[in-house]
A and B are shown apart, each in its own frame.
Chain A
């Protein structure tokens, strides 16, 4: 039965707090039980069509018992999810400077357009002549993404960044196989996202780590030392996860190409380089993008995303099928690519995400995309400059790109960690940055403000972080107890893992 305290309207925890340093209102915070702690048998929140056909026979042995779902009314459903939503922090709630995730503003017009009945209601296997609208959008988006990255051809089929990475590695694998080569290793930088080695391993490659230098970037010499003819290529991220541009990329590509390898670039950080860097011209053979990062589609609480893959000409024959083609204004699907790696998605990828990204590019145009990158880089450098006297900046020899990486080196002696500072930011009304990544920086604090934040909001964030570093000296316990102004305080993750309770 339901515990009556779970229904109490007001969480008393919050009303007792003083609004010290309060940058976000707390207001009402309603408790809400689990779905199956509510409802009464026989309710339904769905209008079920009237039966207008006879009951057809069905063999008893095929019949199941039906699932044990709670029965709820429509208003119970609406309140349930409205309350849950209020426990979340999103980009629309406030600044969300999560490094390498590009939590920029998600335009509302794009939501409206994606919901047009012609798109939202379209069956994926419609005959092509009855699906010209969606095919045109995919075709134009692929064309525009090729132009933005300086690459030759694009597939929008992969469902997410990690699947895009895997697609990239499959393309490299197929390329080598077509040349009769069997290579077993792939070079992965030590600053790489964990999905890089995981994607490589899925394709049967053994990742070989290569370290960046004391300035946080990769040298051609370091790559040369590990590149050999048993190595399929290199996976690097540019700008890298320290927020730095890999300025040796051209020479690195030459080293890799000289031994017959290919260069894969993780384009998660493309928000720094739109209209500025041409990846095709620096020797990158294959690149993935995250439309939910650079191209403004909402992250959805962890998906759905989209991870298009851009390639140079020599990898085009291996792209996933079917490919969207255009001839005299008519769009079609072509399956006839015998060297293709196959399919990554049951249909044409996450079209609902593609249409939003297309709308964004059509709204921005060339000039504003470049300006977005410039302002993203400006915002990151501004934060970096204004926090570097209170936070340790491990790599400081050149401007950063769209994100900056600090560490907790100054706070460690005070008994305060990156986690404590991150949790305290919640009390100040901000989503914390990415923490403890990249792994090469101990206690990393990775801040990516994005271009859509105003100077005023950046200043508030900076002041909050400076206040937290002062608290770390004066009252470190405040930080270790944080957050105290969120709906919940710190959660016991150890207990959750030791005795997993994954369903109610």
Chain B
């Protein structure tokens, strides 16, 4: 076995040094009744070549580009990534190191993470980013838990009102009241009523129904056992969140809004920040497509207290959904309540610049059960991947690419409108949008090796025969024209 280097002579010499006769003698501390009685029943081992053959045959069962045209986003985006990225990420000094416990021999990872934190903070318009979390969904859950910690004792009735609430910029995006038709579409609408033990003193968080449905479910998994309540905010007819419901929620710790939201619609984060801050709550701005901030206003400039989301679109492969990248950024005044690792700048004893992980007194290995999170490491290699991508695009490139993404999806949107398809939500969108499409048409396109978006009815039962379509720079005008023609032909 090529990974196991010991010769029989090595084993004998080592056992002799230990003073034992056979390998089994090393295992005498394990009682007989704790042992496997039979050898493990696993498939026969494969050679490198046999394994390659098997895995290629499994990989070939997958519907991927270029055989399939996948016009689907919904939290996982198909962008071009430079060939330099897998090449550089494959350097085994990055891949085979562990979390930098010994900074003197880990400066590569540490500087790369410090740069990731810097670029992330700049992209999101926030003061500080952590070294990353697992994915966008757990980043949202961690943000909500952090907001609950921060607002503890601040909520009305408990004194200590926030003195530092900024007036948030308002914008004219706010939809007019004509469209006000609250429509709760939580994936598990019964969930909040399942907790009769929740005392009225337990804090609540408000989460938009247009936050990625899977992210809401992960947040529910994290928040339900400690007894926190999630109130789902309904949507307006234009495809954005109805913030009106916020006025009726007591003990509010956080408001979570995704922008661009699950339908691709750009939300008015400024208005949400104003509402949240007026209630001493934090605004958590979630996202799944951070490339949008190359074109659109970033969350920080609109008053977000935490900006968190998925960084897959920044040059990471789709990988059937993971590993992704949990991006998490906040204001400096909240940093000691933040989850996860943080790389910071310092000097060595000779005064040379270097980097270390810092503020670790927040973390589990020091604080144990009083830690801000149980997170131990980060998605380090994915963070470096995203930093490489952001640096490869540069400030000039990201503006150009984000604009092209917007224009391509707008082109698709208007071509579909022209072909007679209904676009139900009027709010401006980035990269993806909802379109009315019979399920049978969607099915027929599968036969033509086109995945015409994500059918929405499993997530929003009121949107049967609607799909969420996505267009990025990875599909050019002829690709989009082909899609429109194929859809028109089937309808």
Nearest B residue (CB) for A244: B29
Q: Which of A219-227, A277-285, A408-416, A467-475 contacts B (4 or more CB under 8 A)?
A: A277-285
Do B226 and A44 touch across chains, with their CB atoms under 8 A apart?
A: no
Structural contact, B99 and A299, CB atoms closer than 8 A? yes
Given contacts A98-B98, A194-B371, 4 further A-B contacts (CB under 8 A): A301-B97, A377-B27, A455-B6, A502-B114
Instruction: Output the least CB separation between A188 and chain B (Å).
Output: 8
* Residue in A80, A123, A127, A502 whose beta carbon sits within 8 Å of that of B117 in the complex: A502
Q: Tell which of B39-47, B159-167, B233-241 binds the partner.
A: B39-47
- On whether A366 and B39 interact (CB within 8 A), knowing A301-B94, A455-B14, the answer reads yes
Task: Judge whether A44 and B393 touch: CB under 8 Å.
Answer: yes
B117 touches A301 (CB 8 A): no
Given A122-B318, A126-B63, A503-B121: A62 and B221 interface contact (C-beta under 8 Å) = no
Contact A120 B318 (CB under 8 A): yes
Partner of A362, one of B26, B29, B45, B92: B45
Q: Which residues of A have CB within 8 Å of B393?
A: 44-46, 69
In the bound complex, what is the Cα–Cα distance between A61 and B266 (angstroms)? 11
A15 at the A/B interface (Cβ < 8 Å)?
A: no
9 shortest interchain CB distances as A-B pairs: A347-B321, A118-B59, A124-B321, A365-B45, A302-B99, A300-B381, A304-B323, A56-B410, A90-B96
Q: CB-CB < 8 A to B177: which residues of A?
A: none
A211: Cβ under 8 A from any B Cβ: no
Q: Is the CB of A500 within 8 A of B344?
A: yes
CB pair B42 A144 closer than 8 Å: yes
Whole-angstrom distance between the alpha carbons of A21 and B342 in the complex? 35
* Nearest A residue to B297, CB-CB: A64
The segment from B275-283, B359-367, B418-426 that touches chain A is B359-367
A:202-236 near B, CB below 8 Å: 202-204, 206-207
Task: Flag if A502 contacts B108 (CB, 8 Å).
Answer: no
Residue among B52, B95, B398 with the highest chain A CB neighbour number at 10 A: B95
Pairwise interchain contact B112-A109, C-beta atoms closer than 8 A: no
Q: How far is the CB of A398 from chain B (nearest CB, A)?
A: 5
- Assuming the A-B contacts A34-B111, A432-B102, A492-B349, are A89 and B93 also in contact, with contact meaning beta carbons closer than 8 angstroms in the complex? yes
Decide if A382 touches B14 in the complex (CB within 8 Å).
yes
Nearest-neighbor residue (CB-CB) of A173 within chain B: B225
Given known A59-B428, A347-B320, A487-B104, contact A35–B391 (CB-CB < 8 A): yes
CB neighbours of B373 from chain A (8 A): 198, 202
Q: How far is the CA of A367 from the CA of B227 in the complex (A)?
A: 47
Interface status of A396 (Cβ within 8 A of chain B): no
Nearest CB in chain B: distance from A203 CB, A: 5
Min CB distance, B297 to chain A, in Å? 4
Q: CA separation between A367 and B301, bound complex, in Å? A: 59
B322 to A159, Cβ gap below 8 A? Answer: yes
User: With A47-B82, A67-B298, A117-B59 as given contacts, are A502 and B343 in contact (CB-CB < 8 Å)?
Assistant: yes
Q: How far apart sit A32 and B107, CA to CA, in the bound complex (Å)?
A: 11
A351 adjacent to B322 (CB under 8 Å):
yes
Interface centre among A207, A350, A453 (most CB of B within 10 A): A350
- On chain A, the residues within 8 Å of B317 by CB distance are 115, 120-121, 352
B136 CB to nearest chain A CB (Å)? 6
Tell me whether B3 and A66 are in contact (CB under 8 A): no
The answer to whether A491 touches B27, judged by C-beta atoms less than 8 angstroms apart, is no
- Cβ A90 vs Cβ B94 within 8 A: yes
Let me know if B388 and A77 touch, CB within 8 A.
Answer: yes
Interface string of A60-97 (1 = CB under 8 A from B): 01111111111110100110111011111111110010
Is A198 in contact with B51, judged by CB distance below 8 angstroms? Answer: no
- B383 → A minimal CB distance (Å): 8
Q: Are B54 and A362 in contact (CB under 8 A)?
A: yes
Interface residues of A in 151-204 (CB under 8 A from B): 159-163, 165-166, 170, 173, 182, 193-195, 197-204
Once the chains bind, are A166 and B374 in contact (CB under 8 Å)?
Answer: yes
Within 8 Å CB of B321, what residues of A? 124-125, 345-349, 351
Cβ of A134 and Cβ of B320 under 8 Å apart? yes
Which residues of chain A are near B360, meaning CB under 8 Å? 497
The proximity string for B residues 403-443 relative to A, scoring 1 for CB distances below 8 Å and 0 otherwise, is 11011101100100000000000001000000000000000
Please state if A122 and B51 are interface contacts (CB–CB under 8 Å). Answer: no
Separation of A67 and B89 alpha carbons in the complex (Å):
24
Residues of chain A contacted by B65 (CB below 8 angstroms):
117, 121
Asked whether A101 is an interface residue with its Cβ less than 8 Å from the other chain, the reply is yes
A93, A123, A197, A363: most-surrounded residue (chain B CB, <10 A):
A123
Return A204 CB to nearest CB of chain B, in Å. Answer: 4
Which of B123-131, B247-255, B482-490 lines the interface with chain A? B123-131
Interface size on A, residues (CB 8 A): 202
Q: How far is the CB of B261 from chain A (nearest CB, A)?
A: 14
Q: What's the nearest-Cβ distance from chain B to residue A279, in Å?
A: 8
Considering the complex, give the chain B residue whose CB is closest to the CB of A43. B394
User: A62 touching B428 by the CB < 8 A rule?
Assistant: yes
Least CB separation from B393: chain A residue: A46
Alpha-carbon distance A121/B52, docked complex (angstroms)? 18
Instruction: For residue B198, give the distance in angstroms from its CB to the closest CB of chain A.
Output: 12
Stretch at the interface among A256-264, A309-317, A368-376: A368-376
B46 & A363 in contact (Cβ 8 Å cutoff): yes
Contact B396 A101, beta carbon cutoff 8 Å: no
- Count chain A CB atoms within 10 A of each CB in B88, B345, B403 and give the residue with the most: B345
Complex alpha-carbon distance, A300 and B366, angstroms? 23
Give A189 to B111 CA distance when docked, in angstroms. Answer: 36
Q: Are B323 and A352 in contact (CB under 8 A)?
A: yes
Q: Which residue of B lies closest to A91 (CB)?
A: B96
A-B contact pairs, 28 of them (CB 8 A): A53-B411, A58-B406, A69-B393, A81-B88, A163-B138, A202-B374, A203-B225, A203-B226, A247-B30, A298-B95, A345-B138, A346-B215, A348-B321, A350-B322, A368-B4, A370-B40, A375-B4, A385-B18, A386-B17, A423-B104, A488-B350, A488-B352, A491-B347, A492-B346, A495-B346, A497-B360, A503-B127, A504-B114
**Contacting pair B4 A371 (CB below 8 A):** yes
A501 and B398: CB pair below 8 A?
Answer: no
Name the distance in Å between A202's Cβ and chain B's nearest Cβ: 6
Inter-chain contact A134/B62, CB cutoff 8 Å? yes
Partner of A49, one of B80, B107, B374: B80
- Contact indicator B103/A491 (Cβ below 8 Å): yes
Most buried by B among A204, A277, A386, A502: A502
Assembled-state Cα–Cα distance A96/B96 (Å): 10
A493 B18 Cβ-Cβ under 8 A: no
A328 within 8 A of B: no
